[in-house]
Amino acid sequence: MTERSMTREDDVLVEQRERCFQGFYRLDRLHLKHRLFAGGMGPSISRELFVRPDAVCVLPYDPKTDSVVLVEQFRIGALDKSPEPWLLEIVAGLIDTDEQPQEVARREAREEADLVLHELLPVMNYYPSPGGSDERVYLYVGRCSTEGVGGVFGVAEEGEDIRVHVWPFAAALQAIQDGRIDNAASIIALQWLALNKDKVCADWLALES
């Protein structure tokens, strides 16, 4: 039996949408019905939706030294569940309305790490938490030079205090195993690079020769 695909137009009825909170982010409450896999429309349900701009995350990688650039900063989401809420992450930022994802990747690399990115490889686009948020992440790996990289950066007006690290790629992978790196974008990007590093290095080193 062929399974019927679900589409928004035919299978979801939004009966009411109310704004519960508006700050830096937004919280909406939706009252809706959606079609059931068994057929027919289900009952009305209420769901809160965390509304926020889409994000761009990029793993800066130096193929000459086989090293990556990681940033460390305080994260409010880790405050209650981690002994140290300063997380090791890849470069990331939100998309302004008139920006393309690759522009954001390059801008954030400059702001967070004083870093220039050359080629950008798209890894994937994904929803990090679709059960309650509409955020979509655009994930990249970017070629860089790690020579002279390091220090503390960030946009002071945005409350950023970001320490920059250069790690051997193997050490960054081990940090996933150890639980030291425990956020989704960093894990996905590092594991993707582990699977594709031979080709990435060959292609990028050819550009530098």
Domains of the chain are 8-51 (no CATH), 55-208 (3.90.79.10)
With beta carbons less than 8 A apart as the criterion, state whether 149 and 163 touch. Answer: no
Tell me the three state secondary structure of residue 26.
Answer: strand
> By C-alpha distance, which of 102, 103, 105, 75 is closest to 92?
105
- Tokens in use for 84? 């140290």
φ/ψ region of 150 (left if φ > 0, alpha if ψ in -120 to 50, else beta) reads: left
pTM for the complete prediction?
0.93
Please, what is the angle between helix 184-208 and helix 169-178, to 10°?
170
What torsion, rounded to 10 degrees, do the Cα atoms 187, 193, 196, 200 define?
A: 160
Note the pLDDT tens digit of each residue in 11-59.
999 999 999 999 989 999 999 999 999 999 999 999 999 999 999 999 9
With beta carbons less than 8 A apart as the criterion, state whether 71 and 149 touch. Answer: no
Catalytic residues: 158
With beta carbons less than 8 A apart as the criterion, state whether 41 and 13 touch. Answer: yes
In this prediction, residues 62-68 reach a mean pLDDT of 98
**Which residue is listed with tokens 């140290």?**
84
Does residue 90 carry a pLDDT above 90?
Answer: yes
